[in-house]
Structure 1
Amino acid sequence: MNKWKKIVGVGIASILLTVGALGCSTASKETSSSGDNKAETTGGTLKAIKDRGKLIAGVKYDTNLFGLKDPADNQVKGFDVDIAKAIAKDILGDENKIDLKEVTSKTRIPMLKNGDIDIIVATMTITEERKKEVDFSNVYFKAGQSLLVKKDSPITGIQDLDGKTVIVVKGSTSATNIKKKAPKAKVTEYENYAEAFTALKAGKGDALSTDNAILLGMQKQDPNFKLVGGLFTDEPYGIAVRKGDKEMLDEVNKVIKNLQDSGEYDKIYEKWFGEKPQK
């Protein structure tokens, strides 16, 4: 009897081991196939870009002058878009070998970390907090935070915000800066710049605060608004890559330097902002 129990026990154990091995194999295949649509592969971002023949760049769709979807032709256009295209051209030899994916200030880092995009080129200020999650390129645009108000507004600067409602975008550095500079102001956050500007136009806030270059784009869309207060922060923009991705970071920095050295950067800047960048 004990002999038969032993034989049956060995047989069951053998079956369980076989099923377990098959399960592991299936799980491994499922994990592999689920990552096929991601931007990141085990070979690194640069290799993934070359293998697929396309750069996947996260850009804004609602930020005039930097990344704005034109309803006339459904194309996304702006300074950041042109910089991203220059990176695609350097890697793949053709600026059109690019897939522009919409990001917001709130979604851009998660999308990069999840492998949905290869890089972030989206008016992203370099901060110590963000450096914990991504690696930044050298500065490719210098901006500073300012205020956008209606033309007849009595607000002239940060000192006039006590008791006022200031509109900002979620995930940006603007809210933190306003709370530091004007602690008696009320801060209201919106999902993106389009919603924020619509709220300002609807009178849901007294001022909208973000980087001056972004506000300039809004002002060009609607001349009933004006920029006030000068610059009360320093907002250096960087292009973000996944943490520890030195090969991709070196590639991006190389492109930025080449654009600046060749004078092409100045041409792109002047195309969008109507003047050459201050040196």
Structure 2
Amino acid sequence: MKKLTRFMGLFSALALLLILMTSCGSNSALSKRDVLQADKESNTITWGVKADTKLFGLMNVKTNQVEGFEIDLAKAMTKEILGKNGKAIFVPVTSQTRVPLLRNGNIDAIMATMTITPDRAKQVDFTRSYFNAGQAILVKKGSPIKSVKDLDKSGSVVLGVTGSNSVENIAKYAPKARVLQLSDYAQALTALKSGQGQALTTDNGILYGMSVENPGYTVVGGSFTKEPYGIAVNKGQDKFRHRLNKALTTLEKNGTYNRILKKWFGNVQGFNYEEMKR
């Protein structure tokens, strides 16, 4: 976890530098670029993905490869769109860097546990949902906190990630709780373990991944919001967005989606695989 935290901290710094450098370019030129056509010509799709999120996208420090549900789904969608020789390129992103990297043209699409919200839809265009997540809380086993309501009663410190809508939701569902924001999930989990907060909040799928890797911690109280994940593309890339939706539909119909879902979530305690099947 320490290695991963250091990696993500270094990547975030480099990503921000890249954003600053590329933002000097012409955004108008990027807006006119046909991403789908360019991807067909290069036979590649560049995806912005998480590298710190168990089950969805996590860097394997032994292989230096990102692995997870979203990675496998992106690979399958790439081949569905470009053919069997199509190549998926993965760029690790954080909640803070994903939209700037997309808008600057460093990535073609974001598949990084990004919830579809009206505010975000003002900046990017979303495909339909590919994962029906919901916000929950993770606590140490034996904690007196059993639900989000307990956070409000006790005035607890809740850990979240900067740039995620989970932080805003806590203000709505537990207004008396104090929120401490960290730069990524690895740092947030480290803070929970060190006692800097009594609970960590984000989408349930992410928390299930943390509980699998850390048996001393558990997800409690069920989901208290609906947080559907969508793939984000730049405004004006309607052909690309429609093609992504078509690829997702095909993978759902031919069983590929369910195979990938079961591979990563089928044996996760508390996860309702049958409810999520397409």
| TM category, shorter | 0.7 to 0.9
Name the structure 2 match of 1:260.
252
**Amino acid in the other structure paired with 1:139:** S
Q: Deviations over 1:156-205 (max 9, x none)?
A: 00111131000001111101100000000000101111111111111111
Q: Does 1:222 align with 2:207?
A: no
Alignment of 1:265-276 (within 5 A): 265-274=257-266, 276=273
**TM-score of the two chains, using structure 2 as the length reference:** 0.84
Partners of 1:237 and 1:89 lie apart in 2 by: 21
Greater shift, 122-131 or 96-105, is seen at 96-105
Equivalent runs, 1:53-72 vs 2, <5 Å: 53-72=43-62
1:95 Cα deviation after fit: 6.6
Structure 2 residue aligned with 1:240: 232
C-alpha contact (below 8 Å) 2:53/2:185 kept by paired residues:
yes
- Structure whose CA Rg is larger: 1
Query: Is residue 85–residue 95 contact of structure 1 (8 Å, CA) maintained in 2?
Result: no
- Looking at structure 1, the residues matched to 236 and 65 of structure 2 have their Cα atoms a distance apart, in angstroms, of 32
CA distance in 1, matches of 2:85, 2:224: 36
Letter in 1 for 2:95: S
Query: How does 1:178-217 map onto structure 2 within 5 Å?
Result: 178-217=170-209
Specify the SS of the correspondent of 1:128. Answer: coil
The Cα shift of 1:101 comes to 0.1
Letter in 2 for 1:46: L
1:75-100 CA distances to partner (integer Å, 9 max, x unpaired)? 11111111111221123223761210
**8 Å contact from structure 1 (residues 88, 95) kept in 2:** no
Contact 1:87 1:95 in 2 (8 A): no
2:96 maps to 106
Task: Call closer, same or farther: CA 1:277–1:111 in 2, change over 3 Å.
Answer: farther
Q: Which residue number corresponds to residue 135 of structure 2?
A: 145
TM-score, reference length from structure 1: 0.83
- SS of 1:223 mapped into structure 2: coil
Count of residues in correspondence between the two structures:
244
Note the alpha carbon deviations across 1:111-142, whole angstroms, 9 max, x for none.
11111100000111000000000110011100
8 A Cα contact 2:49 2:110, kept in partner: yes
Residue of structure 2 equivalent to 1:158: 148
Partners of 1:213 and 1:188 lie apart in 2 by 21
Supply the RMSD in Å over aligned alpha carbons. 1.8
| Maintained 8 Å contact 1:40/1:118 | no
User: Percentage identity across aligned positions?
Assistant: 51
User: Who is 1:4 aligned against?
Assistant: none
Tell me what 1:89 maps to.
79
Gapped regions of structure 2 (runs ≥ 5): 1-21, 268-272
Whether contact under 8 Å (1:40, 1:48) holds in the other structure is: no
Residue identity in the other structure for 1:257 = T
